[in-house]
Amino acid sequence: MTLAWVRSIALLMLLTTGAAAQDTGANPKLMPDAPLNEQLLSVPGDPHRPVLLQVTLFTPPGSGPFPLAVMNHGATRVSAQNRGERYRYTYSAYYFLSRGYAVALPMARGFAGSGGDLALAGCSVDIVGTANAEDLRAVIAALGRLPEIDPSRIVVAGQSFGGWTTMALGTMDVPGVRGLIGFSPALRQSNCPTQDQAMVAGARSFGAAARLPSLWFYGDNDTVMPVATWHAVFDAYVNAGGPAKLVTIGRFQDDSHEMLSFPESLPIWTPQVDAFLARLDLPAAAIHPEYLPIPVPPPSQFAALDDASAVPFVSDKGREAYRQFLTRPFPRVFALAANGMTSVANGGFDPLARALLACRNAGATCRPYAIDADVVWSGDAAAAAAYARIVPAGSTTNLNFAYAVNPDCSSRALPQISVSQAPMHGSASVVFHDGHPRFPAGHPYAACNDALVPGVSVAYTPEPGFTGSDAMTFEETTENGSHRVFRMTLTIQ
């Protein structure tokens, strides 16, 4: 059975998802405000155990061929009565789209719309991982034959059970796959009385046969993998010969096993993944930042989270709004402006962006005060800086060039830029383009000034025939979450 034949059937239920698409089932998260070009495919699994597997495929703007990122889901309690829901909502998929990858999210056999049943082998968790990896190998081979996919540039990642399957795939010769990423790799089976020892033995087996470099993430408050267990699992893999790097993320919210479910984890893992991809000679810079939420500022220790009296600018009504904010579920954002206006958003893909947009729509410039369980307000540190520029009449001028580079001058990430106060006598837009950095002489990165790197600018165009004064404000949030406000006074002549 070829992919072309299966796809001709799958086209009958092809999904095209726009910016407003959302899942109305159990998962309330909204899609990002960017085209996903979503396709729902039926793809043959392991030919030795014939089955059709359900695969969601996202592609970024353009016609490709795109490098491919395969993201494998974690396990729910599957049974004949509960096969779980299709894996679609994960910040990891949006991350790879932002870097220009097509993203495939295959459902393992026995899950959602995939046929067959999950393989069970008691405490032989390496056998379970390998069986699922054989399906994964077949899916990768089939997707590599699609015209929009570059079969020579593939990275495979997975969370929990999906991470375990990913590491099992690393024992196989899979053309085009360059590296593996595991977010809390784990596999626990209830019919195994020695689950920790089973995972250690399985990891040792994988490591002894590993063919591909891998990146592993674990945290200190993982409810599935205690610290001693994941250390033993990773050490067994590496000591057996597996080429791997471990990234320890410390404590993350209530459960580091769920790190991919929250945008607050993005600053923790995306720089590590960027560096890993760059080492594999794969795309590692954000070229479509619209797929990711606005970076979340770090905790500021400005005040205790539950101290409503510390919230600046607001009236008693605003303080009551803050108390109500504290009762809302994560993800949640409380933002405020110097005029006392407040904005609250929670749930969905990017509540921070929605909260700030609500303020802009009301004519105010807000900054986040609290996000989830942290106060992020930085007092006067993010106060607007005043700048004056002389710009020519009748033409477009880039007012800035924002970028971030690594020591080797490759792009690290693109800052998020937004126009919060539009000019009165012209227009302003955010544009993405390559440019030269401007590090001062003696700076460690000054040699990068000769390189062309991706960046983002605010482009100002005065009204035709206009000369005189204009003003506008734009804001920048860097990849590490710092926020600045630029208030521009413009002289057009």
Q: Per residue in 98-113, pLDDT tens? A: 999 999 999 999 898 9
The amino acid that residue 9 corresponds to is I
The count of C-alpha atoms lying within 13 angstroms of the C-alpha of 133, restricted to the half-sphere facing its C-beta, is 24
Top-confidence residue, 276 or 12: 276
Lowest mean pLDDT among 167-176, 248-257, 356-365: 356-365
417 in Cβ contact with 456 (< 8 Å): yes
List the domain boundaries for the chain: 3-291, 308-380, 384-492
Q: pLDDT at position 17, please?
A: 23
Give the whole-angstrom CA distance, residue 449 versus residue 78: 54
- For helices 195-209 and 227-239, give the axis angle rounded to 10 degrees: 30
Helices (H) and strands (E) in the chain, counts: 9, 19
Q: State the architecture of 3-291 in CATH terms.
A: 3-Layer(aba) Sandwich (3.40)
pLDDT digits (tens, 9 = 90+) for 138-192: 999 999 999 999 999 999 999 999 999 999 999 999 999 999 999 999 999 888 9
* Band of residue 212 on the pLDDT scale cut at 50, 70, 90: very high
Give the whole-angstrom CA distance, residue 161 versus residue 163: 5
Top-confidence residue, 22 or 155: 155
Three-state SS at 115: coil
Q: Does domain 384-492 have CATH number 2.160.20?
A: no
Give the whole-angstrom CA distance, residue 336 versus residue 429: 24
CA distances from 436 to 66, 409, 431 (A): 26, 10, 15
Top-confidence residue, 150 or 86: 150
For the whole model, what pTM was predicted? 0.68
Pairing of strands 177-183, 149-159: parallel
Give the whole-angstrom CA distance, residue 351 versus residue 362: 17
Percent of the chain residues past pLDDT 70, beyond the cut: 89
Q: Residue 390 pairs with which residues in a beta bridge? A: 491
Three-state SS at 9: helix
Average confidence (pLDDT) over 71-87 = 76
* Band of residue 25 on the pLDDT scale cut at 50, 70, 90: very low
Beta strands in 114-176 (DSSP E): 149-159
Is residue 357 within a helix (H) or strand (E), and if so which, with residue range?
helix 351-361
Lowest mean pLDDT among 43-47, 76-80, 396-400, 484-488: 76-80
Q: Residue 455 pairs with which residues in a beta bridge? A: 433
